[in-house]
């Protein structure tokens, strides 16, 4: 959290949705996603006493998709099986939020070059939060428009 958040979470609207595709069946024992229903409304990070008791492991067939408010407390549960649980996470986020992994900043230049013209879109370069007004910002490049490049940040 940024210091300006003063330890309070944004709960007034949905900042992001998590989408988890169940490549494997999700079971109570194979490490399936665990959620705490209602926790998207918790305004602080303090753990209420009943929290863990109310957490639920999602059971879902192979091919199902879990969609939930990213503010919902969640994570993988314990995998006590001898199987690997496979899942594909494709979160949807408001473009002005900063993701857990800012791929636009960590992708290797040679990978971006190899990806060609679509690389910037694939790796979300245009998804960088604008730090200028919209009319100064070029969403296709994820950078200031030509006349504002002198304001570009690294």
Ligand X SMILES: O=C(O)CCC(=O)C(=O)O
Per CB under 6 A, the list member of 30, 36, 71, 74 interacting with ligand X is: 74
Shortest reach from residue 26's CB to ligand X, in Å = 8
Distance, CA of 154 to CA of 150 (rounded, Å): 11
Contact (Cβ atoms closer than 8 angstroms) between residue 60 and residue 41: no
Pick from 86, 98, 85, 80: nearest CA to 142: 98
Q: Which is nearer to ligand X, 33 or 128 (CB)?
A: 33
Shortest reach from residue 40's CB to ligand X, in Å = 13
- For ligand X, which stretch binds (CB under 6 A), given 4-12, 70-78, 107-115, 144-152? 70-78
Q: Exposed e or buried b for every residue in 101-139, given b needs 16+ CB within 10 A?
A: eeebeebeeeeeeeeeeeebeebbbbbbebeeeeeebee
Does 27 contact ligand X by CB under 6 A? no
Per CB under 6 A, the list member of 10, 23, 45, 76 interacting with ligand X is: 76
Query: Which residues share a beta bridge with 110?
Result: none
Does 40 contact ligand X by CB under 6 A? no
Residues that bind ligand X (CB under 6 A): 18, 20, 33, 74-76, 87, 89
């Amino acid at each position: 959290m940024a210091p300006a958040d003063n330890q309070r979470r944004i709960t007034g609207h949905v900042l992001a949705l998590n989408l988890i595709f169940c490549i494997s069946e999700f079971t109570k024992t194979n490490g399936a996603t665990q959620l705490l229903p209602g926790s998207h409304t918790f305004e602080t990070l303090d753990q209420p006493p009943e929290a863990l008791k109310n957490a639920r492991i999602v059971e879902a067939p192979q091919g199902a998709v879990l969609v939930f408010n990213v503010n919902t407390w969640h994570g993988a549960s314990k995998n006590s099986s001898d199987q690997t649980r496979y899942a594909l996470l494709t979160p949807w986020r408001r473009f002005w939020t900063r993701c857990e992994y800012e791929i636009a900043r960590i992708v290797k230049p040679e990978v971006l070059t190899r990806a060609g013209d679509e690389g910037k879109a694939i790796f979300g370069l245009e998804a960088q939060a604008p730090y200028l007004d919209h009319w100064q910002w070029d969403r296709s490049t994820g950078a200031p428009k030509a006349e504002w490049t002198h304001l570009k940040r690294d």
